[in-house]
Amino acid sequence: MAAVKRITKELAEFSNNPVPGVSAGLASEDNVFKWNVILTGPQGSPYSGGVFTLNLILPTEYPFKPPTLNFTTKIYHPNVSNDDKGSMCLGVLRSDSWKPSCKIVQVLEMAAGLLKEPNVDDAVETSIADEYKNNPESFEKTAREWTRKYAK
Amino acid sequence: MSPSRSSRNSLQSVDLRALDYLTSPSANLLCPICHAPLITPVQTRCLHTFCSACISLSLERSSTCPVDRKPLNHDDVTPAPIMIANLVNDLVVLCPNREKGCTTSCARWLVESHIREDCEYATVKCAKEGCDGMVERREAEGECVHEEVECAFCEGAVRKLDVELHYKECPKLSSDCRHCSKSFPNPELAAHKLICPDEIIDCAASHFGCSFSSRRSELDEHLSHCHFVALTPILQLHTERIETLELENKAIRQKLDLLVPPRPLPTQLSGATSSAANDSSSGRDMTSEMQDYTYHLYSEYEQLRSDVERLNAQIRELDVKQDMARFNEGLRYNDEMTGVRAAINGLRMQLHWLVASRREAGTGGAGAGGARSVAGSSASGDGRRMSVDSVRQVVKL
Ligand SMILES: [Zn+2]
Ligand SMILES: [Zn+2]
Ligand SMILES: [Zn+2]
Ligand SMILES: [Zn+2]
Ligand SMILES: [Zn+2]
Ligand SMILES: [Zn+2]
Ligand SMILES: [Zn+2]
């Protein structure tokens, strides 16, 4: 299957050129469509010191349909839905802006980038986005608290 | 090549997409969709190159270019320049039977004939007359392995080739379960596998995003409180609805493509605009004008965006430079401070020596004069500290 071949190749490429702050691998050896991802909170952000685990699910139609990225660690972030799914909202992951030429490593880079700097224009949690914009101290306080509580 | 061999061409098919390459090929020769070297390369109107099969698959799902999302149809796809095709066809690949033991590597365009005519590990028809079985070419001259023999345990008829395989399912023998490593008679193994308590299985709602998996015996506990399982009926409903909507959407888009060509050629456009006065086609002109305008806006938007990105990068660079400059400046000030301190220390020593020597010359006495000299020097010490402070202030300023 073309998808398996491409994903295997992308995994090999990722292991050879890892992204700083991101580690990723297959959830189980016999299924390339499910990846475990670990993000470490970047220095200087309220997530600093935290370790966040995510699931990356690739559809069988990959690369024609986008992957989905879910936080399994609770995180206080404008771009991550504050529910059981913890789905990450990334512009490129929407099926109407996904391009088959996008690579998984680009998705992971963007996820790591959002920890450094949330994207309020693309927020799922609008109340958190408002707080981030208008009351950054209180946002940072809660985000740091959650990091300490859930991401250690 | 002996005639008896060439008469036995291999029918094994070669999947060009699954080939492994001797060296990793230049990134320019990779298809943006499958990330493998291009196979039957084609070019789009927007000058992107893909495998013919990959772009067809992509166009089935979306009428946009997979790289830049510009509107794209089957008609906009033409064979890529022959040079590109030659470059990818000349890439050296490893024989697909490598795992069986073949060490051959050859240009990609030769691999099919290698399998068909030469590869010792390709499957060919058995040499025995009347036998329909397949063997690897290197064993084709040996005895036929497709004859049936009797199983020593169940007395059933088994092909020589399959004896090992048969032992795994022979009804008179037992095998171990892969998960719990208990041994079961073969006929019961299949039934056991469905209920083996030690098998690791995914949550029943895994396709809706639950990432939980555990031994079967422990899954019930999870199922009873899994939110995804609770939501499964409604998620199922939504999936079905989305699928129908997608189908509908596709049909509508096809209709729309028929009504409005996705991207009129520039010549058509200018023609249409110039004949705007023509009443009969004014509606048409409006839409093409709108399209023209939209494209214009879009390209302007893209340009602005790249400008902003460039500016951002520049600002970041300047920031870094400024930080560096500030840091260097700080270092320099530090050095200067140390120099000034040393100089002041020198002055202090001289002052001390001067004062002491004058005192000595003035009083000549040792007892009370010595005490006074101590008081005097401490006073001069205060003066010195003050002067250091003032120097510090000057440096700060
Ligand atoms: Zn294109
Ligand atoms: Zn391709
Ligand atoms: Zn071979
Ligand atoms: Zn035979
Ligand atoms: Zn048997
Ligand atoms: Zn078992
Ligand atoms: Zn579950």
Nearest Cβ partner of A72 from B17, B67, B211? B211
Q: What per-residue confidence (pLDDT) applies to B368?
A: 47
What's the CA gap between B143 and B128, in Å, rounded?
8
**Position B172, amino acid:** K
pLDDT of B52:
95
The pLDDT score that the predictor gives to residue B386 is 52
Å between B7 CA and nearest CA of chain A: 32
Per-residue buried b or exposed e for B235-265, using 16+ beta carbons within 10 Å of the residue's own CB: beeeeeeeeeeeeeeeeeeeeeeeeeeebbe
pLDDT band at B86 (very low <50, low <70, confident <90, very high): very high
Across A81-109, average pLDDT: 87
Residue B188 pLDDT > 80: yes
Q: Does residue B299 sit within a domain?
A: no
Residue B159 falls inside a structural domain: yes
State the pLDDT confidence band at B275, using cuts at 50, 70 and 90: very low
Residue B157 counted as domain residue: yes
Catalytic site residue A89?
yes
Catalytic residue among A22, A56, A89, A110: A89
Mean pLDDT confidence for B78-82: 94
The CATH number assigned to the domain holding B177 equals 3.30.40
Q: Is the pLDDT of residue B369 over 50?
A: no
Instruction: Give domain status of residue B164, yes or no.
Output: yes
Contact B342, B313 (CB under 8 A): no
Residues B128-161 have pLDDT tens digits of: 888 888 888 888 777 888 888 888 888 888 888 8
Please give the structure tokens belonging to residue B342: 């040393």
Confidence check: pLDDT of B210 > 90 = no
Question: Is the distance from CB of B231 to CB of B223 less than 8 angstroms?
Answer: no
B191: in domain: yes
Number of folded domains in chain B?
Answer: 1
Q: Quick one: pLDDT at residue B374?
A: 47
Rounded mean pLDDT of A120-128?
Answer: 89
Distance between CA B51 and CA B17 in Å, rounded?
10
Lowest-confidence segment of A119-123, A125-129, B112-116 by average pLDDT: A119-123
Residues contacting residue A35 through CB under 8 Å, at least 6 positions apart:
A11, A24, A25, A26, A27, A55, A56, A57, A58, A104
User: Closest-CA residue in chain A for B36?
Assistant: A6
pLDDT at site A132:
93
- Mean pLDDT (chain B) is 82
Per-residue pLDDT averaged across B96-104, rounded? 92
Contacts of B54 (CB under 8 A, 6+ apart): A2, B31, B33, B34
Is B205 in the A-facing interface, judged by CB distances under 8 Å? no
Is residue B293 helix, strand or coil? helix
Which residue ranges form the domains of chain A, and what is each CATH number?
A: 2-150 (3.10.110.10)
Token couple for A48: 């600093």
Per the CB < 8 Å rule, is A84 touching B227? yes
d(CA B389, CA B378): 16
Dihedral sign computed on CA atoms, order B317, B319, B324, B328: positive
pLDDT for B388 beyond 60: no
Confidence grade of residue B283 (pLDDT, cut at 50, 70, 90): low
Q: How many residue contacts between A and B have a Cβ separation below 8 Å? A: 49
- Interface confidence, given as ipTM, is 0.75
Domain of B182, in residue numbers: 147-196
Neighbours of ion ligand 6 (CB under 5 A): B 177, 179-180, 196
Residues of B in contact with A84 (CB under 8 A): 227-228
Q: What percent of chain B has pLDDT over 70?
A: 83
| Residue B67 domain-assigned (yes or no) | no
Does some domain include residue B180? Answer: yes
Residues A33-50, mean pLDDT to the nearest whole number: 92
Residues of B in contact with A37 (CB under 8 A): none
For residue B282, the number of C-alpha atoms closer than 13 Å in the C-beta half-sphere is 4
Query: What is the spatial distance between Cα B198 and Cα B181, in angstroms, rounded to a whole number?
Result: 9
Q: What is the pTM of this model?
A: 0.52
**B268 versus B126: which is more confidently predicted?**
B126
Establish if B179 belongs to a structural domain: yes
Q: Is residue A19's pLDDT more than 80?
A: yes
Contacts of B227 in chain A (CB under 8 A): 84
Q: Is B75 a residue whose pLDDT tops 90? A: yes
pLDDT tens digit string along B217-229? 888 899 998 888 8
